[in-house]
Amino acid sequence: MKSFDIEVHDFDLDHIFDCGQCFRWRKQRDGSYTGIAYRRIVNMNFQPFEKSKFDGMLRITNLGNYSEDDLEKIWIPYLDIDRDYRKIKLTLSQNDETIRDAISYGAGIRILKQELWETIVSFIISQNNNIPRIKGCIENLSREFGEKINLKSASWQSENTEKLTKLEPYTIPSAEKLASLTQDDLASIKLGYRSRYLIESAKTVCENGLPVNFEELSKLCGVGPKVANCISLFGMNDTESFPIDVWVKRVMARLYGFDENDIKGMQSFAGEKFGKLSGFAQQYLFYYIRNLDENKK
C-alpha cells in the first residue's frame, strides 16, 4: 500500500464527510474514513495535534490503483488543502454574529472539489431522499453499472470486512453507460422517477458535454434550482452558490427569522450577507442545524 502524510489545518473528517456534500465515504472502526473519488479507493486517517483539535497530520492510504503524484494532483485539490479556512471563518464571523455558533460547531468542514459527473448523479438521486438511502442507491447503482476498482490490500480488506461491505469498490457509472440504459434496467436500484432523470441527463451530457455553468445545469432533466446549486458548489467549486434544502430552510427560519417558503428571500439575503463565501456559510449552517436537531431525537 502507498501512503501519503500531510499536515492539515482547520480539518475534521467527521465534519467533512458528514455535511451532505458527498456520499461515498464510510467511517471505519478506528475513526478513519474509506471512500472512493477520482476512480481511487483510499483510507484517510486524521491525528490531531495535542493542543489543536482541528490541526494535525492526515495519512491517505491508497487501497487500489494509484500513481506517485496522486497527493499533488488529486488529494490536495480534492480536500481543498491550499485554501485558508481560518480566514474564511473569521470573515464570516465578523460579517455576521449569528453564524458564529454554526462555524464553531463545524469548524473542520472543507468543501471538497469533486468530479462534476459524480455530483450530477449524486444530487439527482438526492432529490426528496435522506442521506442513508442516497448512499445505498449510489452504491447499488455503482455495483450494477460502474467499473470495479481492484483492492490491492487483502489484509486491510479482511480487517475491515464489516465496514467494506457497505462501500462497494466500483466507480459511478459513466454518462455513456447510463445513457445506454432503460428505466427497466434501473428498476432494481429503486430510484423511482429519478431513473428517467439520470438517463435523460446522461444522454444530454453525451450529446453536449458536461455543463459549464448554472444555466446549463438547469437544462438537465430533473435538475431544479436546489440541485443545480448543489452541483455548482460541490462539482464546479462555485462558492457563491447557496443550496437551500429542508435543513437550510429550517436554520434560516430559526436563526434569521425567514418564512420557510421564502426561498427567493433567503437566496438574496445569502448573496448580500455572505457574497463569494455563501457556499461555505451554507455548509456551516447545514451541518449545525442537522446535527443539533438529530441529536435531540
Per-residue model confidence (pLDDT) at position 160:
53
259 inside domain? yes
The amino acid present at 266, given as its one-letter code, is M
Per-residue model confidence (pLDDT) at position 168:
67
Q: Are 37 and 169 in contact (CB under 8 A)?
A: no
User: What are phi and psi for residue 41, nearest 5 degrees?
Assistant: -120, 125
The Cβ-side half-sphere exposure at 75, using a 13 Å CA radius, reads 24
Hey, what's the cell of 88? 474564511
Task: Name the domain count of the chain.
Answer: 3
Per-residue model confidence (pLDDT) at position 59:
96
Please give the model's pTM, rounded to 2 decimal places: 0.93
**SS3 of the chain: helix, strand, coil, percent, to 5:** 50, 15, 35
111 inside domain? no
Q: Are 13 and 46 in contact (CB under 8 A)?
A: yes
* Residue 73 pLDDT > 50: yes
Say if residue 96 is in the same domain as residue 125: no
CATH number where 59 lies: 3.30.310.260
- Least confident among 59-63, 84-88, 185-189: 59-63
Per-residue model confidence (pLDDT) at position 154:
47
Say if residue 262 is in the same domain as residue 197: no
Per residue in 92-105, pLDDT tens? 999 899 999 999 99
Per-residue model confidence (pLDDT) at position 155:
43
Per residue in 113-139, pLDDT tens? 999 999 999 999 999 999 999 999 999
Hey, what's the cell of 261? 417558503
Say if residue 72 is in the same domain as residue 181: no
Q: Which residue has the cell 447510463?
A: 178
- Residues 14-23: b if buried by 16+ CB within 10 A, e if exposed: bbbbbbbbbb
Per residue in 240-278, pLDDT tens? 999 999 999 999 999 999 999 999 999 999 999 999 999
Per-residue model confidence (pLDDT) at position 150:
81
Which residue range forms the structural domain that includes residue 155? 116-234
* Mean pLDDT (whole number) for 180-204: 98
Rg (the chain; Cα; Å): 19
As a whole number of angstroms, the distance between CA 185 and CA 178 comes to 10
Per residue in 219-244, pLDDT tens? 999 999 999 999 999 999 999 999 99
Percent of the chain with pLDDT over 90: 85
Hey, what's the cell of 12? 475534521
The amino acid present at 36, given as its one-letter code, is I
Say if residue 188 is in the same domain as residue 269: no
CATH number where 177 lies: 1.10.340.30
The residue out of 54, 86, 106 marking a domain boundary is 106
> 181: left (phi > 0), else alpha (psi -120 to 50), else beta?
beta
Say if residue 203 is in the same domain as residue 146: yes
* Mean pLDDT (whole number) for 145-154: 80
As a whole number of angstroms, the distance between CA 213 and CA 195 comes to 23
As a whole number of angstroms, the distance between CA 12 and CA 293 comes to 21
Say if residue 44 is in the same domain as residue 147: no
- Give which of 58, 134, 101 is closest to 291, Cα–Cα: 101
The residue out of 72, 106, 140 marking a domain boundary is 106
As a whole number of angstroms, the distance between CA 92 and CA 230 comes to 20
240 inside domain? no
* Residue 74 pLDDT > 90: yes
Q: Which residue has the cell 455535511?
A: 19
The residue out of 77, 106, 135 marking a domain boundary is 106
Say if residue 229 is in the same domain as residue 251: no
Per residue in 7-23, pLDDT tens? 999 999 999 999 999 99
**In whole numbers, what is the pLDDT of the chain averaged over residues?**
93
